[in-house]
């Protein structure tokens, strides 16, 4: 059985003395036997007895040495740790002795951190109680003035939080109350499918649901990095829909006859002009009549244009038209139609457009139902294309286009899932849009096209919220930039940690950089988003053996810039920072003598680790990651940026050990690092 601690001192000393005594006794007996067998003179007899006693004497001396230099210090250390565990606030400690004397700085650092942490914990508890009270009061005040009804449900759909606006919005509703289920307030049948399909990254989903003779626009989102909590905001959409189907719709319908009258006047003007020319009339009456008609036509056309622009602006600025990412729309439509089957495959480049997501889903849902009855098969593709004025939303299928007469019938069909059951044509008017069906140029596919308003935005929505690194109030406490770099504290250093991937390890024989990655440490924090990551075109094939390590192929770097261009950008990225790398001599050799000067100090975690633990083996990056228990995401190693991040984490682990030994400035660290330099191959990492 494996012992749980060191053997008791009495047993250890007893065993040691017993073995020493037996060895001495055995030596004496053996010496006496040899003397009886051999006829030795008095001078050799002394040597004989000394040789036979040497084993026992050596065993006794080795045991004495181990007891004084190892076992006694170990027991002292064990007792000290026990005291600290029993009374963490104790101040008097004994520094390790003997062979454990080198642990003194580390042990002192652990104790200092322990005391500091306990003090910070006591202080944080008191401050936390005060802060929690302030936050609770601030949250209550914020919820009181927030005009949007807000509901927060846990993963079991129990209400955890609601504000006064929600209380007013759901007045006299029994389903509102802490701990009550969501289905007691809103119809779960309308929300169940949407709740199951909510993205975990917080992307909102919209839905129209009936509630107490009202239609509510409900926006639901999953709280990111939570235990499944759901945030719901509500607004009354009934009045908005009535307005869109009332005065706005009437105004939009007036545009068609106005355009017709304008066209008729223009036609009459042309006919009058032709009549005057054919009759060779030179009278002023026809000319005046023609001029009046022309002026009226122009004025009427200008008025119609202004009214049209006004209506379009009213439609575009409507509160129900929001920016929608096309891939999100196709996914929502798929979930709306049939969540068990993927009916629509997005193709082409995703873009933003502006629309009313619930209304468009109801519209496309109706059209897909009609299309499924009209064509063979029910698998579609969704594509979005751009023009200077519009974004075209296309539903594509294999077959023939829909005749105009048939499409007109479909557009008059009521959409019963929307408030007030508008027709598809009403939804199109809401978006100042139209719909038509065309044949693709390949002759095999057809599409249904809707022009919608585009959005001046190109980037895709973020899949996850960015890390909060846009602020750091601790930077105000850093030393002035004018402080001499050599005396600058290590924790306040701005570091750029970099790494290279190369075609091979023989840099002096033609191998070169194919990838350069770097990240930055500011105020003792490794910034996740402030990175430099570029491929480099080596203008030579990458050996398969190298690709097997870093995974970079010739196709990855064919379009990449030359090394000189990348190094110029890298020098700008470094700025006034200090460079840091693991086995820096290899990486500096890879980027040096390329026309870009890197004259800043360079730190090397390989040399720093060797200086701190010269008695230990294994200072490569993988061994140090294991030694310090660093947790790395999968796939991070053996990429330039990934290895730079690992080196940054290693630096943060080495920093407390350096400070424990009084190494607190850059000048001291460079001296320590220089003491560990030897002639080992710089390419071994």
DSSP secondary structure, 556-606, as one string: HHTTSPPHHHHHHHHHHHHTTPEEEETTHHHHHHHHSSSS----S-EEEHH
3-state class of 629 per DSSP? coil
Mean pLDDT of the chain: 76
CB atoms under 10 Å from CB of 273, counted, come to 15
Q: How confident is the model at residue 514 (pLDDT cuts 50, 70, 90)?
A: very high
HEC-encoded secondary structure of 270-293 = HHHHHHHHHCCCCCHHHHHHHHHH
- Sign of the dihedral defined by the CA atoms of residues 177, 180, 184, 188, in that order: positive
Under 8 Å CB-to-CB from 303, ≥6 apart: which residues?
A: 258
Contact 384, 377 (CB under 8 A): no
The stretch 261-268 carries a mean pLDDT of: 66
- Summarize pLDDT for 590-637 with one digit per residue, the tens: 898 888 889 889 999 999 988 887 766 778 888 888 887 777 766 667
Tally the residues of the chain.
685
φ and ψ of 198, to 5 deg? -65, 130
DSSP state string for 114-130: HHHHHHHHHHHHHHHHH
State the chain's maximal CA–CA distance in angstroms: 166
Query: What is the rounded CA–CA span in Å between residue 290 and residue 276?
Result: 9
**Residue tagged 């005060």 (tokens):** 130
Give me the residues paired with residue 216 across strands: 209, 236
Query: According to DSSP H, which parts of 171-235 are helical?
Result: 188-196
pLDDT at residue 319, as a whole number: 47
Q: Is the pTM of this model over 0.85?
A: no
- Summarize pLDDT for 570-591 with one digit per residue, the tens: 998 888 889 999 998 889 988 9
Higher-confidence residue of 465 and 155: namely 155
Contact 343, 378 (CB under 8 A): yes
- Summarize pLDDT for 93-138 with one digit per residue, the tens: 667 777 777 777 877 777 777 777 777 777 777 777 676 666 666 6
- Judged against a pLDDT cut of 60, whether residue 306 lies above it is answered with yes
Q: How confident is the model at residue 67 (pLDDT cuts 50, 70, 90)?
A: confident
Q: Residues of the chain with pLDDT > 90: what percent?
A: 8
Q: How confident is the model at residue 679 (pLDDT cuts 50, 70, 90)?
A: very low
pLDDT at residue 17, as a whole number: 75
Phi-psi region of 57 (alpha: psi -120 to 50; beta: other; left: phi over 0): alpha
φ and ψ of 570, to 5 deg? -65, -40
Contact 581, 602 (CB under 8 A): yes
Contact 494, 530 (CB under 8 A): no
Q: How confident is the model at residue 549 (pLDDT cuts 50, 70, 90)?
A: confident
Higher-confidence residue of 245 and 505: namely 505
DSSP annotation of 420: T
DSSP annotation of 400: P
Q: How confident is the model at residue 669 (pLDDT cuts 50, 70, 90)?
A: very high
- Sign of the dihedral defined by the CA atoms of residues 310, 311, 316, 318, in that order: positive
The tokens of 298 are what?
Answer: 């122009």
Contact 427, 366 (CB under 8 A): no
């Amino acid at each position: 059985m494996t012992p749980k601690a060191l053997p008791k001192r009495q047993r250890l000393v007893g065993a040691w003395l017993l073995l020493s005594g037996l060895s001495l006794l055995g030596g004496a007996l053996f010496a006496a036997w040899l003397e009886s067998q051999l006829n030795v003179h008095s001078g050799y007899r002394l040597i004989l007895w000394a040789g036979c006693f040497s084993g026992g004497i050596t065993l006794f001396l080795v045991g004495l040495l181990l007891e004084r230099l190892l076992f006694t210090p170990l027991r002292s250390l064990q007792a000290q740790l026990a005291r600290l565990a029993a009374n963490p606030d104790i101040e008097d400690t004994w520094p390790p002795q003997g062979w454990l004397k080198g642990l003194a700085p580390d042990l002192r650092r652990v104790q200092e951190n322990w005391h500091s942490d306990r003090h910070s914990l006591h202080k944080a508890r008191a401050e936390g109680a005060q802060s929690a009270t302030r936050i609770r009061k601030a949250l209550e005040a914020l919820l009181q003035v927030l005009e949007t009804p807000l509901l927060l449900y846990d993963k079991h759909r129990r209400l955890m939080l609601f504000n006064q606006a929600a209380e007013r919005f759901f007045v006299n509703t029994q389903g509102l109350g802490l701990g009550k289920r969501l289905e007691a307030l809103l119809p779960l049948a309308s929300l169940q499918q949407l709740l199951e399909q909510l993205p975990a990254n917080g992307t909102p989903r919209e839905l129209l649901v009936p509630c107490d003779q009202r239609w509510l626009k409900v926006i639901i989102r999953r709280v990111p990095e939570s235990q499944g909590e759901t945030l719901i905001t509500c607004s009354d959409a009934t009045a908005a829909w009535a307005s869109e189907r009332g005065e706005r719709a009437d105004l939009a319908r007036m545009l068609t006859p106005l355009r017709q009258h304008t066209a008729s006047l223009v036609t009459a003007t042309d006919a009058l002009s032709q009549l005057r020319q054919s009759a060779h009339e030179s009278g002023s009456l026809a000319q005046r009549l023609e001029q009046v008609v022309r002026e009226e036509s122009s004025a009427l056309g200008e008025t119609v244009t202004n009214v049209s622009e006004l209506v379009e602006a009213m439609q575009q600025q409507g509160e129900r038209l929001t920016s929608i990412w096309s891939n999100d729309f196709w996914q929502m439509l798929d979930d709306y139609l049939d969540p068990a089957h993927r009916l629509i495959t997005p193709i082409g480049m995703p873009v933003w457009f502006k629309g009313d997501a619930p209304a468009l889903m109801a519209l496309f849902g109706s059209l897909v139902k009609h299309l499924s009855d009209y064509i063979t098969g029910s698998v579609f593709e969704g594509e979005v294309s751009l023009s200077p004025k519009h974004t075209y939303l296309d539903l594509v299928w294999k077959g023939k286009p829909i005749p105009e007469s048939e499409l007109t019938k479909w557009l008059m069909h009521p959409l019963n899932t929307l408030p007030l059951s508008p027709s598809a044509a009403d939804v199109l008017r809401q978006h100042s849009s139209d719909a038509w069906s065309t044949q693709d140029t390949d002759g095999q596919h057809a599409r249904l096209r809707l022009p919608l308003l585009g959005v001046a935005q190109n980037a895709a929505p973020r899949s996850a919220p960015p890390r909060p690194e846009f602020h750091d109030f601790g930077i105000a406490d850093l030393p002035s930039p004018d402080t001499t770099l050599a005396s600058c504290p290590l924790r306040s250093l701005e570091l750029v940690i970099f790494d290279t991937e190369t075609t091979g390890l023989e840099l002096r024989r033609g191998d070169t950089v194919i990838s350069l990655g770097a990240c930055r440490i500011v105020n003792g924090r490794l910034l996740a988003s402030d990175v430099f990551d570029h491929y480099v075109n080596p203008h030579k094939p990458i050996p398969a053996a190298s690709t097997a390590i870093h995974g970079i192929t010739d196709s990855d770097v064919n379009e990449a810039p030359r090394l000189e261009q990348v190094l110029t950008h890298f020098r700008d990225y470094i700025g006034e920072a200090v460079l840091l790398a693991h086995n820096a001599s290899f990486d500096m050799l890879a980027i040096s003598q390329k026309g870009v000067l890197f004259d800043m100090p360079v730190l090397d975690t390989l040399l720093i680790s060797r200086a701190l633990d010269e008695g230990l083996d294994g200072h490569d990056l993988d061994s140090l990651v294991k030694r310090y228990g660093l947790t790395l995401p999968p796939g991070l190693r053996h990429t330039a940026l990934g290895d730079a991040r690992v080196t940054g984490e290693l630096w943060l682990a080495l920093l407390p050990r350096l400070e424990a030994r009084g190494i607190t400035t850059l000048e001291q660290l460079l001296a320590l690092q220089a003491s560990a330099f030897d002639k080992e191959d710089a390419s071994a990492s």
